[in-house]
Amino acid sequence: MIVIADAGPILHLYWVDAISWALPPQTIDVVEPVWQEVDKYEPHALTDSRLRRRVVTPPYPAELSSWKLDSGELAALGYAVRQKDTGDILVLCDEHEARKACSQLAIPVVGSVGLIVRAFRAGRVADDVAQTALRDLPGRGRLHATEALIELAVEMLSRP
Amino acid sequence: MNSTHETTGVVERGTVKLPPDVQLPDGTTVRVSWNEAEAAPKKPYDRQPLTEDDVRADLAWATKESRAT
């Protein structure tokens, strides 16, 4: 599985102290513009040994021009499109527009909410820690999501 | 002799969290000061809000039994 991260999940999970257990336990490719974006906000987040810096060069696939993507999203999705034929891929992203692009291009995508719930279900973190991290996402985690949506995820933690 | 000590804590969910080496007995009166700019909520990092579909898609991914990550 090739996992490719946009800046959002790295930053959100770092801000709610969840990066160590919520990011998938494997190598995660971070393309150069995304690396620089994270570095601008939280350089320390990049010390996580799972993160691997990748250089990608334009031009990016033409199909990506249909969406309003920033340079990091464009590079990350461009990299994802190129990797699609080499095996399973997963993009980590919390930006609505980029997620829409992933869906249309049949690229699997998940964001901070899903990563936290998955970490709990995989036994990497206790229920109360996962709950706190989810509820912190819209505040100190700076995730653009309403509390009502976060409660949907919190509820999921108690389901078998 | 009276001496005054000073430390810095962080507010988490409305409660001031102090460093673990600071142990204050019950009844201790403390003075709190804060920086208004720091206390103001920061705006979301993402440009657009996540929709219910986005969150439900995340939950579907997270609860799929065969998930390897």
**A5-26 pLDDT tens trace:** 999 999 999 999 999 999 999 9
pTM of the full predicted structure?
0.84
* Interchain proximity B54–A95, CB inside 8 Å: no
Grade residue B65 by pLDDT with cuts at 50, 70 and 90. low
Reported as a pLDDT band with limits 50, 70 and 90, residue B1 is low
Maximum CA extent, chain B: 66
Asked if the Cβ–Cβ distance from B62 to A121 is below 8 Å, we say yes
Instruction: Please write the tens of the pLDDT for every residue from A32-41.
Output: 999 999 999 9
Torsion angle in degrees (nearest 10) through CA of A118, A99, A141, A71 = 130
Please state the rounded mean pLDDT for residues A60-89. Answer: 91
H-assigned helices in chain A: 7-15, 19-22, 32-41, 71-83, 96-104, 112-121, 127-136, 147-157
Check pLDDT > 90 for residue B7: no
Closest to A144 (Cβ–Cβ): which among B48, B59, B61?
Answer: B48
Answer whether A143 sits within 8 Å of B56, measured CB to CB. no
Are A118 and B69 in contact (CB < 8 Å)? yes
Q: Summarize pLDDT for A102-114 with one digit per residue, the tens.
A: 999 999 999 999 9
Q: What is the Cα–Cα distance from A5 to A33, expressed in whole angstroms?
A: 11
Over 60: is that where the pLDDT of B66 sits? no
Least confident of A19-33, A49-63, A83-97, B31-45: B31-45
Searching chain B, which residue's CA lies closest to the CA of residue A90? B69
